[in-house]
Amino acid sequence: MATPAEPQTAPFGTWDSPITAATLTSKGISFSGIAATADGTIYVNEGRPAEEGRNCIVEWRNNQPRDVLPAAYSARTAVHGYGGAAFNTTSDGKVIFADWKTHGVYILDPATCDVTAAVEPDEKIWYAAFNSHPKRPELVFAIREDHHGKEVVNELVVINTGNKKVEVAATGADFYSHPTFSPAGDRVSWIQWNHPEMPWTGTELFSAPWKDEKVGTPVKLAGNGDEESILQPRWGPDGTLFFVSDRTGYWQFYRWSPDGSDEPRAIVIEGLEKGEFAHPEWLLGSCTYVLPNANTIVAAWTQNATERLVIIDLEKNTYTFPAHIASLTGIQHSAVALTSPTSIAVIASTPTAPSTVYHISLTNNDASAPTVLRSSTSVTISDTYFSRAQHISFPRTISTHPNTLSHAFFLPPTNPKYSSAPGELPPLIITIHGGPTIHTDPGLSMMWQYYTTRGYAVALLNYAGSSGYGRAYRKLLNGSWGVLDVHDAADCARYLISEGKVHPSRIGITGVSSGGYATLQAICMFPTLFTGAVSVSGISDVEALVAETHKFESHYAFRLLFDDKVPETEEEKRKVYRERSPRFHADKIKAKLLLLQGTDDEIVPLNQAQAMADDVQRSGGVAKLVIFEGEGHGYPRKAENGLQAKEVEEGWWKVNLAEVNGE
């Protein structure tokens, strides 16, 4: 047997890696939704950079894949700005989907791959979140978003795919989600909310009878202003309505029976009360739990920003974390589908495997490893290259929040072919997630392994305002956006420096959207701490954001900036806008700044990045703006653009972190 080669000594940040930019783009895919039919056939929505960012529906039958969506279509929506819930299966085994190019709704016959229009397409009317009647599959409950007028109008509708007629089922609220028929087809349920609430701050759950193809008088079951977030209502097989509420401070299960007049009842499982069974719904169609039978819930349970699959026995009020699926995490959005009473399909990651579609048996006598259907990368890499995420908590130093902790996942540089010189410390990249109300989980991300295999340390910051730690932690950012999150980033860097884990003068920071905003704020507020920065679709002017952003987030910034103390005058508001807008503090920046931006970003328009670059350069600083034609919000979707973005980004870090000061 050959003796393994001794690791080569080379400076951090210069190591050769088997993970290339192509691994993340042309050789990678993403998964944005999963569904299944009654016979156990699985359908997955795959985002494909190599196909101009198209979303293709893939059928899995007997663990064998087949593309069923013709190449002319892309299953994707922009309802609520971020989309989601672009497709679903129907009760007769077909697939209904929204097309990105035409905004039309279509019925797909998987057997023949024939596509027929369900409604007459209109580029200004968008649909999402489809749910077909269990006995009348041509009747589909859905969300409609109308962009014809000056104000965007959201409604619940029933689509008759047979005659292409659309009837309004509920209107008047600013937003709707989760339109669903009961198993018997005699009731419907949905969630709604109004400005200034967001799905994770305050929503209401409604149910109504369904008779003669009409929605009857609705009854509110739960929800109260900004005090309670109701998410993921789902009908059990016996007609019980389950949902998740954070009225206790954590998203926990409740159930309601339409047969009686009782209020919804809490499902209290001792040992799981301090964790959460839902995530902030930036995307429509979240599904992180299923109901195999009337007495069982299979769910993703989150604690310390780490998801785990749990099986709950409602009769005994007990739970188990099955060993054969214990490593699965990162289970968010439309991630779980029931394929039989004893099996599920799941989109998940593990500490050593990126986002993957698994088929899993739930029976004790078949506790075999999950069946891998498809990984998000086609490249095979030894797990010896992978850096394992380590959850860390560190003290805040900001005077407004004494004796409190912030959190992150730390990934040390890892590559079996390399080692560093004695005493050398690695450069650090702190990445700040968007939202700001989401969280980063410890599942393997090839994006960040790209850097750890090259000799960078990475910190995945779950700053104040992140989910995964309960409602109180999410609310910490209210009134402190652009301040507390930024201080958490600085404290994370200081903590890792004090622990001797990273080089004190090679600290980089990056983020997307709100994370890009925090990145820009950080290099203004802590100019000597950060050496380099990369902002992707980042906000540079919060006043412009408030004036220009889409309906879904049009009131969101007020709570983040002012909490419940909105100034009475425009002059007072503008003072805060200026204080919290990094473009107006560009003269303080010393870090080298790279901005990546799409031309078609409707959430944070191109003018935000352009203004930031201009102001930094005007102040004598270094700022480079790279613009991607035809790309929207966030990282580029198309392979060639993604490849360019990653190569530019890596070059930026190499010069400004790995080779800083010529060291």
Residue-wise pLDDT for 412-462, tens only, equals 999 999 999 899 999 999 999 999 999 999 999 999 999 999 999 999 999
pLDDT single digits (tens) 272-299: 999 999 999 999 999 999 999 999 999 9
Indicate if the alpha-carbon torsion angle 536, 514, 198, 580 is positive or negative: negative
Q: Note the residue count of the chain.
A: 663
**Of 402, 404, 573, 398, which is closest to residue 473 (Cα–Cα)?**
404
Instruction: Answer whether residue 561 shows pLDDT above 60.
Output: yes
- Residue 602 is predicted with a pLDDT of 84
Looking from the CA of 23 toward its CB, the CA atoms found within 13 Å total: 16
pLDDT of residue 4: 60
Residue in 171, 137, 142 with CA at minimum distance from that of residue 159: 142
pLDDT for 3 beyond 60: no
pLDDT of the residue at 515: 97
Q: Which of 16-30, 75-89, 168-182, 615-629 has the lowest mean pLDDT?
A: 16-30
Half-sphere exposure of 428 (CA within 13 A, CB side): 28
Q: What is the pLDDT of residue 331?
A: 98
pLDDT band at 261 (very low <50, low <70, confident <90, very high): low
Kindly state the average pLDDT of the residues 487-513: 98
Token pair in block for residue 561: 């900036």
Confidence of residue 2 (pLDDT cuts 50, 70, 90): very low
Q: What pLDDT is stored for residue 342 in this prediction? A: 95
pLDDT in tens, 228-260: 999 999 999 999 999 999 999 999 999 999 886
Alpha-carbon distance of 357 to 344, in angstroms, equals 11
pLDDT of residue 661: 44
Across 212-352, where does the E strand assignment appear? Answer: 214-215, 219-222, 230-235, 241-245, 252-256, 265-266, 289-293, 296-303, 306-313, 318-320, 336-340, 343-350
Please state, in angstroms and rounded to a whole number, the distance separating the CA atoms of residues 297 and 622: 54
- Kindly state the average pLDDT of the residues 88-110: 97
CA-derived radius of gyration, the chain: 24
Mean pLDDT of the chain: 95
301 neighbors 348 (Cβ within 8 angstroms): no
pLDDT-based confidence at 662, cuts 50/70/90?
very low
Report whether pLDDT(262) > 90: no
pLDDT category at 660 given cuts 50, 70, 90 is low
Mean pLDDT, to the nearest integer, of 201-230?
94
Note the pTM of the prediction, 2 decimals: 0.95
Inter-CA distances, 99 with 43, 128, 362, Å: 16, 10, 34
CA distance 534 to 625: 10
Residue type, position 437, single letter: T
Share of the chain above pLDDT 70, in %: 98
Residues 6+ apart with CB under 8 A from 85: 33, 77, 79, 128, 129, 130, 143, 283, 284, 285, 334
Torsions phi, psi for 201 (to 5 deg): -110, -40
Question: Looking at residues 576-598, what average pLDDT do you find?
Answer: 97
